[in-house]
Structure 1
Amino acid sequence: MFTLLRPEDNIRLAVRLESVFPQCTRYMVVVSTNGRQDTEESVVLGMDFSPSDSSCSIGMVLPLWSDTRIHLDGDGGFSVSTDNKIHIFKPVSVQAMSALQSLHKACEVAHCHSYFPGSLFLTWVSYYQSRVSSDQAFINEWNAMQDVLSHRADSPVLFSEVPTERERTERLIKTRLREIMTQKDLENVTSKDIRTELEMQMVCNLREFKEYIDNEMIIILGQMDRPSEIFEHVYLGSEWNASNLEELQNTGVQYILNVTREIDNFFPGLFEYHNIRVYDEEATDLLAYWNDTYKFISRAKKAGAKCLVHCKMGVSRSASTVIAYAMKEYGWDLKQAFEYVKERRAVTKPNPSFMRQLEEYQGILMASEVSVVIYTTVDISLSFNRLTPQAGMYILQKMCCYSQYSLS
């Protein structure tokens, strides 16, 4: 642990936490130092220890800003909220809760001196942010949320207890129900017809499982709507596709980009996840994440793997993200990228705010291309008709810095 810290930083608190991975030991560590204003600044680090090789890595970096709040959850744990993010911590010992005084004290200092994002405070945190290197599964656990609307079930590798009689019946229902639904013309059959055939096959009355069967039908219907292959390495889909383990494995998906605030990662131990925790709302700034999503998808491509990009329905958030990826990866304008994606997934429909952000992103990409030309070309002739006002101003400012270039 100590080798990961800067010499000038001090550990104020180290608390061992529970983990869903028995092979990993986790610590929440509060690190403090004197900042530029000669006041104490603190950050919470999530440390992961691997007993197999005794290695230590950073899985989370959480600066303590003036809005940081600590909440006890009544179950032996607590959460820390700051900068619109909430992280959950479950100490392995009740005694560790008394050590929270150190964390409270660090929060009081941040509040007293009005530390806020974008200020000259906590600039040294970037050192640790650049050294986040834990396995993606461990990073997912550091970023787990309690308030997601759709929670994942246990990954198949975690099943250890002997199932009850009811659980065995439900598993058999699920298997038989899928077989029946894949063989039927679902346009001309009722739910009651399917349930009747299911009872005939299982030779028993399933009245007490009626609600379970109805819910399972909805899930299977969603999963039968396969994800759309946009590129050889990119699939675009819904929550159902992200929860269908068999389909994910059959399509060769190894990377999953979850562009939702309300849906948990279903199989964190089996796939590499990247989360963009946003809602499908007009106020959501999705553009701010497209550099990171581009890098994640590119990493999957470089690894020769396939990446599923999903939101709730694969219509707005995830579709916008894939369109943005196509624009940057292939140099397409918004019109070409949008039409390409929509042709392969007909339900594609970014909300109006995301469309405006895609237009702005188009301008940013074009301005970025032009800035390269400015540094390598003596005489430039451009048409500004295709640029957004922001991009046009950006280019003009660049050119004003280089008076030896001519603009016509």
Structure 2
Amino acid sequence: MVVISTNGRQDTEESLVLGMDCSPADSSCLVGLVLPLWSDSVIHLDGDGGFSVSTDNRVHVFKPVSVQAMWSALQSLHKACEVARCHNYFPGSLFLTWVSYYQSRVSSDQSRINEWNAMQDVQSHHADGPVLFSDVPTERERMERLINTRLREIMMQKDLENVTCKEIRTELEVHMVCNLCEFKEYIDNEMILILGQMDSPTEIFNHVYLGSEWNASNLEELQDSGVMYILNVTREIDNFFPGVFEYHNIRVYDEEATDLLAYWNDTYKFISRAKKAGAKCLVHCKMGVSRSASTVIAYAMKEYGWDLERAFDHVKEQRAVTKPNPSFMRQLEEYQGILLASKQRHNKLWRSHSDSDLSEHHEPLCKPARQPHTVGRFDPCNQGNSPAVPTLQELLQPLETPSDTEQVVRSVSECGNPSSAGKVVWSSSQPNTTVNQENKLNTNQETRTEAQLTSTTRDQSAATGDQSVGSSQ
């Protein structure tokens, strides 16, 4: 394992992990693994002298050769992961663009690539794949694994309509050169299981196939179908051809307690990526009945806007054995509600109704403190209460001063701070000019007020005189 760090396009430190395969025979060193360290990278100790690195839905297990080697590796990895989190490195960004240089140079043989991509808790392995990170198996467990591998090979070559179980078992004993009488029941059960998986993958859509473990392990069939992406919805089945296909793992069991809904957003993106690339995606679990079928139904609901009933009927029509467990059906119903709510969020009628409710039942957040006065007009109802506000032209009238650099700024505030209304702020050294302007404004105001009062008095006197003349007549 090699950790490489360099400054990227954003002038920050970026790191990746390389898995190197060294051959002492010809002194060659080949690349078998390229693992970029993103901001979601997590390191776990497995308690057995090794550790795992999980990032971007990938999990890789490493077994250092010594305690000192493990210490050095963990120190380097923790530092690189901390930098990635600090700068928020994520796939698809401008970070770690130089990784493609190493990805194009992965040249180790397939068996070593399989070893770099080996996973924990896996029960089904490829015939040529490594069996790592597990306790030492018993003699019977080793024999059962060997029987399973050889049995698959024999059943692929036989015409299953014209052969009996006993004939298959007899040929199996010939291949293994031993008596398998004590494994009769195990062989019969495995035959039934393998036979149920041997059907070709079901084409649900033009770019989506639904299948089983058997379909995922059949390289020739996958290549003939045009599959380039494989969605593995199991914890117990290995990725059989890492480096040949692009994998995405949802490591869960087919149990009532499994929360499969939490992964459907990621699975939708993965299948959509295959569709965008013009390739086909195989979605598989153990039998292609529950976990993978539920995932394909969820994809159909989101991609085509179907309800649960229509999506389920479509998948069931294409693959008759489809039968999600009761927990997954409840999660699909919940997912249907989530998708429906997401659609309504963008509905114009729903948004307009919501906006009208807000406008009817809620007062505005900001209210004017008081009604503003009419600028530049005399208000007879305001006599004696507050001074009249000068007109805007009077405020903007240039001052009669010989200096062009000296300015006077007047500020009238009615809403924010009433006490500051009418204040004069100047930046000039001649305040008398401003005072004279204010005196002129007050004089003009008083003159207009007196004229109006005089006119009113005259009108009243005239009216009184008219009344007197009428009475004397």
Q: Specify the TM-score bucket, using the shorter chain as the normaliser.
A: 0.5 to 0.7
- Corresponding residue for residue 399 of structure 1: 354
Q: State the shift of 1:231 in Å.
A: 1.3
Residue identity matched to 1:352: P
Aligned equivalents of 1:205 and 1:268: distance in 2? Answer: 29
The answer on 1:2 being equivalent to 2:2 is no
- Corresponding residue for residue 89 of structure 2: 127
- Corresponding residue for residue 377 of structure 1: none
Residue identity matched to 1:249: Q
Residue identity matched to 1:360: E
- Structure-to-structure mapping, 1:52-201, within 5 angstroms: 58=36, 62-63=40-41, 70-71=45-46, 73-74=48-49, 77-79=50-52, 87-91=60-64, 95-99=68-72, 102=75, 124=86, 126-129=88-91, 131=93, 144-154=118-128, 177-184=155-162, 189=164, 191-195=165-169, 198=171
- Structure-to-structure mapping, 1:189-268, within 5 angstroms: 189=164, 191-195=165-169, 198=171, 207-208=178-179, 214=187, 217=191, 220-268=194-242
The answer on 1:343 being equivalent to 2:317 is yes
The answer on 1:24 being equivalent to 2:31 is yes
Q: State the shift of 1:171 in Å.
A: 9.7
- Structure-to-structure mapping, 1:332-371, within 5 angstroms: 332-371=306-345
The answer on 1:330 being equivalent to 2:285 is no
- Residue in structure 1 matching 2:290, options 310, 313, 316: 316
Aligned equivalents of 2:335 and 2:121: distance in 1? Answer: 31
Q: Which structure 2 segments of 5+ residues have no match?
A: 24-28, 107-112, 130-147, 361-473
SS in 2 for 1:372: coil
Q: State the shift of 1:183 in Å.
A: 4.8
Number of equivalent positions: 318
- Contact (CA 8 Å) 2:235, 2:251: kept in 1 or not? yes
Residue identity matched to 2:156: R
Q: State the shift of 1:10 in Å.
A: 9.2
- Contact (CA 8 Å) 2:232, 2:250: kept in 1 or not? yes
Q: Deviations over 1:67-94 (max 9, x none)?
A: x7534534xx434699x99752234787
Higher strand share: 1
Structure 1 pair 150/365, CA: closer, same or farther in 2 (3 Å)? Answer: same
SS in 2 for 1:152: coil
- Contact (CA 8 Å) 2:154, 2:168: kept in 1 or not? no
Max Rg structure: 2
Q: State the shift of 1:147 in Å.
A: 1.8
Aligned equivalents of 1:225 and 1:5: distance in 2? Answer: 49
- Corresponding residue for residue 280 of structure 2: 306
Structure 1 pair 344/214, CA: closer, same or farther in 2 (3 Å)? Answer: same
SS in 2 for 1:127: coil
Higher relative contact order (CA 8 A, sep 6+): 1
Residue identity matched to 1:268: P
Structure 1 pair 315/101, CA: closer, same or farther in 2 (3 Å)? Answer: closer
Structure 1 pair 137/78, CA: closer, same or farther in 2 (3 Å)? Answer: farther
Q: Which structure 1 segments of 5+ residues have no match?
A: 27-47, 49-56, 111-121, 156-169, 375-379, 383-394
Aligned equivalents of 1:346 and 1:180: distance in 2? Answer: 25
